[in-house]
Amino acid sequence: MRNQENNINVISYDDKYEDDFVRVYQSVYSEKPYCESFTEDDVKEVADQTDMYLLISEDDEAIGFVGGMPLSEFYKMHPEEELNLKAGVKNAVDAYYIAELGISREKQRRGLGKELFGKFISMAESKGYKAFVLCTADKNNKAQRLYENFGFQRCRDEKENVIYRKVTQLRTNGKEESDNRPYYVRSSQ
């Protein structure tokens, strides 16, 4: 997975990139619309919780990340979301939950998010996953366009209402705040 021209590589997560990963993760989510604050330990825990994590590096420095877990694992960690998603995701057995995606601010808009996300989906498909679920901030137009270009659609219940996940997180202003994030799904094509 090597792009010779600008020394860009998509690689499996490795502890040797831990410092880069923590820095990029904290900086990416401190941006609008998230404005979220994570300690170093929080970020290290994130990598431990996911079963598949890819990084994108430039000149051997990690500048982006994507990670997730089988939807069944996500449901074990967040049982309330299994109930919440029941009307929108009928078959959770072959479904994968994409929990994170970020590209370092100064490296954005170069096609790297698309490249990393595409490789992640392909890798999960090669492991047999047929459907994908994720959620993103309601006002995150950049990410929503990216996901829609990959065939994701807002997840809706029987009455066509969008299903949201309520996320509560410490923000960069020092306060804990909640917001409602639409779920997106993509079934096998």
Contacting positions for ligand COA (CB under 6 A) = 28, 31, 101-103, 108-114, 136, 140-143, 145-146, 149
Minimum CB separation from ligand COA for residue 57, in Å?
A: 14
Q: Which is nearer to ligand COA, 89 or 99 (CB)?
A: 99
Minimum CB separation from ligand COA for residue 40, in Å?
A: 19
Q: Which is nearer to ligand COA, 26 or 72 (CB)?
A: 26
CB-closest chain residue to ligand COA: 113
- Nearest 5°: the CA angle 150, 26, 34 is 60
Minimum CB separation from ligand COA for residue 12, in Å?
A: 19
- Tokens 């994701």 label which residue? 152
3-state secondary structure of 160: coil
**What is the DSSP annotation of 13-62?**
--GGGHHHHHHHHHHHHHSTTT-B---HHHHHHHHHH-SEEEEEEETTEE
